[in-house]
Amino acid sequence: MVRFPTLVYGVFCYAFFFVTFLYAIGFVGNLIVPKSIDSGPAAPLAESLLINIALLGLFAVQHTVMARPAFKRAWTRFVPKPIERSTFVLFASAILALLFWQWRPLPEAVWTVTDPLWSTTLWALFTAGWVTVLVATFLINHFELFGLTQTWAHFTGKEPKPPEFTTPLLYKHVRHPIYLGFIVAFWATPVMSVGHLLFAIATTGYMLVGIFFEERDLIAHFGDRYRKYQQEVGMLVPKLRFGGTRKRA
């Protein structure tokens, strides 16, 4: 009887994530959503910076700490293993929703691109970034990444498959296409406000730190296989060949 509520919980967490993900596109791009990165009531500069940095820091700490194997081992003493990933996704989505709600706009323009060609190019890059993020998650098992596979396996009485080291499509060219997609999406905009710039700088910095910890965990798990992968494939930029020798682009 516990299996069905577990599945319902996993589906709820996934649905919450997906709605948050879609809202994030509108939030960063100032598109459609009721409150975006540059909309909402203004506040004093110091207050806005303090609140925005605190919100970004809260997300970074939650995402970094809860993703570590040591935390997972301790966490699953209290949270059943089949819903551990779903719970992580729930926490991350809830903090993102809080960020969207409480974000203080800093709308002063840092740059404004008015040329139609360059503006269209930036919007195309913005779209390509989000598409890259979504495609990259499906390449490495989207539903496992967001907890549905684990809750479904529990519901059907099957053991989840252990993680495998694979490098499908985009992963043959860069080690972290999800992060790359986010970085492109966050920076590609024809109108960069002070608030948007703060968001882009902070999230890019967090992702670089996140890559460090993530790759440390992957080396601990896969060993020399991942070390070889690091040598052959660029982190965020593809490695190019020049005269038979590989160099980072």
User: What local confidence, expressed as pLDDT, does residue 246 receive?
Assistant: 43
Considering only 70-84, 165-179, 192-206, 222-236, which range has the smallest mean pLDDT?
70-84
**194-218: average pLDDT:** 95
Residue 183 has pLDDT above 50, yes or no: yes
Output the pLDDT for position 242.
54
The confidence score (pLDDT) of residue 161 equals 79
**Mean per-residue pLDDT of the chain:** 92
Instruction: Please report the pLDDT score of residue 245 as a whole number.
Output: 42
- Total domain count, the chain: 1
Is 160 a residue whose pLDDT tops 80?
no
Q: How many CA atoms lie within 13 A of 104 on its CB side?
A: 14
Higher pLDDT, 16 or 68: 16
Q: What is the pLDDT of residue 137?
A: 97
Taking 60 as the threshold, does the pLDDT of residue 209 lie above it?
Answer: yes
Residue 92: domain span: 3-248
Q: What pLDDT was estimated at residue 148?
A: 95
pLDDT of res. 2 = 79
Predicted confidence (pLDDT) at residue 81 exceeds the cutoff of 80: yes
Overall average pLDDT of the 120-124 stretch? 98
Q: What is the identity of the amino acid at 59? A: F
Q: Is the pLDDT of residue 247 over 60?
A: no
Q: Residue 120: which pLDDT band, with cuts at 50, 70 and 90?
A: very high
Q: What is the mean pLDDT of residues 98-111?
A: 96
Contact 59, 95 (CB under 8 A): yes
Binned at pLDDT 50, 70 and 90, residue 25 comes out as very high
Give the Å distances, CA to CA, from 73 to 68, 77, 78, 220, 239: 9, 7, 10, 15, 36
Integer Cα distance of 146 and 178 in angstroms: 14
